[in-house]
Structure 1
Amino acid sequence: MTLAWTSSCIKYLLFVFNLLFVITGIIILSLGVSIKAYFTNYDFFLDDKYFSTPNLLIAIGTIIFLVAFFGCCGAIKESFCMTITFSVLLILIFVLEFAAGISGYVLRNQTADFLVGKLNSTMYQYEPNKTDANASRVWDGIQTEFKCCGVHNYTDWYGVKQLQEMLPLSCCGPQWGSVGTGSCNANTNTLYQKGCVEGFGEFVEDNAFTLASAALVLAFIQLLGIIFACHLSKQIKKNYETV
């Protein structure tokens, strides 16, 4: 009687966990898609490795829906085979999420050094008054959105010959009372003092940290599912042996 009650209890706990498991899958999938969309806007500056973690989470979120099917069916039907399959797949997902979490933290720590090199190399491709040029468009977009200028500060632009000791207009905020296109230089009151390694770098680091934290937290939550599934499998096997 105690064995039957324990098996039934674990069965319904596993069923409830599967509902939560599907919710975590939706969260992981949504998070991966959202951050990949954010990063895509700046793919000119970002390496493929910054898209690997979001892509992995998108894949995990998709797989979770299939895995949840085995868990629900295995729990309701008390199928030893399906419950074991669910346990194995849960362990695989746990490993993948743990790997995604670690890679996210690694990327976060490497972001500053990576961006310094990437920003330094692309700023020399900047062409003033050519908004259709990829480097110009992305640089102007980043400096405007993150209110930054240059790599470390505005003086980095002085090495770009095309600008002739001037600064991109995107290095300065709106200038009240300016007529026409205006200008931007070291004496402009609205000049952004912060470098883009700091401004844009914080954005990339924060998103990498969000990915890593979410992956690790959800991975450890799913350990409960592994425990429930393994215990239910053990109970089902015992019931088969006693029949």
Structure 2
Amino acid sequence: MESCGMSFIKYLLFIFNLFFAMSGLGIIIAGALVLADVSDFSHFVTSDLVGPPIVLIVMGAIIFLVASLGCYGAIRENYKMLVAFAVFLIIIFIVEFAVGITAAVYKADFQETLKKSMKKSLEQYESSSNNNIEKAAWDNVQQKVKCCGVNGKSDWSSTPMSCCYKDKMDESDQPEEFCVSGGRNYIYKEGCYKRLQMKIESNTKILIGVGIGIAFVQVVGMFLAFWLAYTIKKEDESK
């Protein structure tokens, strides 16, 4: 006969895993949003920028599957499944911790790589009038991120029209620079590197926040899984 204590832990773990599964879906959505955001400038350092949100999406899918395993193990009171669930959580936790440390260590290197890649791309754009790939990448990022050049418009020997915009922006602290090209009257003052750096920082905060939330949930899940597994084993031994 199932004890009250075991019943309580079992249903508590089951409810926890429902929330855990939903957090997996939330992680997938967060990863997809970050991936869509970095796609604006992924041309410059594709693998470095696209990697983290893809890892997040994959981790979200794994968490959803592991949570499903935990739900099944809790309802079936399966000792081996519960231990496997707890071990999976530990592995995921270690991987997340390692990825977080790696990201922190290589953050400065990544930003320097981004800047060098942007400068090289700009040079390639200006060195060939038929370089449509570089032109499309710069036109896209300058219009979407509202910037010009790597550090500013002075990076360009001839300012491209994608650096220009029609209506005056609210930047009263700096004098307006004029463009007068194709019906666009003003030039974006800020360089694209600084703008992209801000976007990366923003995305990093999202990833860190999601990671901390997941880590807390995982620790709770490990505790509940081992607790229920221990209770099941103890009751089996007492029969």
In percent, how many aligned pairs have the same letter? 36
RMSD: 2.8
2:5 is the alignment partner of 1:40: no
2:234 is the alignment partner of 1:242: no
2:141 is the alignment partner of 1:142: yes
Choose between structure 1 and 2: higher strand proportion.
2
Q: Counterparts of 1:103 and 1:24 in 2: how far apart (Å)? A: 24
Which of the numbers 213, 216, 220 marks the counterpart of 1:220?
216
Amino acid at match of 1:77: R
- 8 Å CA contact 2:164–2:181 kept in 1: the answer is no
Amino acid at match of 2:61: T
126-135 or 142-151, which moves further after superposition? 126-135
Alignment of 1:2-17 (within 5 A): 4-17=3-16
Aligned to 2:164: 172
Q: Secondary structure at the match of 2:3?
A: helix
Q: Deviations over 1:43-68 (max 9, x none)?
A: 21124122222222222111223212
Residues 10 and 127 of structure 1: CA distance in aligned 2, closer, same or farther (over 3 Å): same
* TM-score of the aligned structures, taking structure 1 as reference length: 0.83
Equivalent residues, number: 229
Q: Deviations over 1:133-176 (max 9, x none)?
A: 01111111111122211111211113xxxxxxx21112222169
Residues 170 and 4 of structure 1: CA distance in aligned 2, closer, same or farther (over 3 Å): same
- 8 Å CA contact 2:74–2:82 kept in 1: the answer is yes
Aligned-pair CA distance for 1:5: 2.6
Alignment of 1:81-96 (within 5 A): 81-96=80-95
Q: Secondary structure at the match of 1:44?
A: coil
Q: Counterparts of 1:217 and 1:107 in 2: how far apart (Å)? A: 23
Amino acid at match of 1:68: A
Structure 1 residues not aligned, in runs of 5+ = 159-165, 184-188
Q: Secondary structure at the match of 2:186?
A: coil
- 8 Å CA contact 1:157–1:167 kept in 2: the answer is yes
Amino acid at match of 2:182: T
Residues 242 and 131 of structure 1: CA distance in aligned 2, closer, same or farther (over 3 Å): farther
Alignment of 1:1-243 (within 5 A): 4-106=3-105, 108-127=107-126, 133-158=132-157, 166-174=158-166, 181=182, 190-243=186-239
Residues 236 and 182 of structure 1: CA distance in aligned 2, closer, same or farther (over 3 Å): same
Q: Deviations over 1:170-191 (max 9, x none)?
A: 2222169x987358xxxxx622
Aligned to 2:174: none
Structure 2 residues not aligned, in runs of 5+ = 169-178
- 8 Å CA contact 2:40–2:140 kept in 1: the answer is no
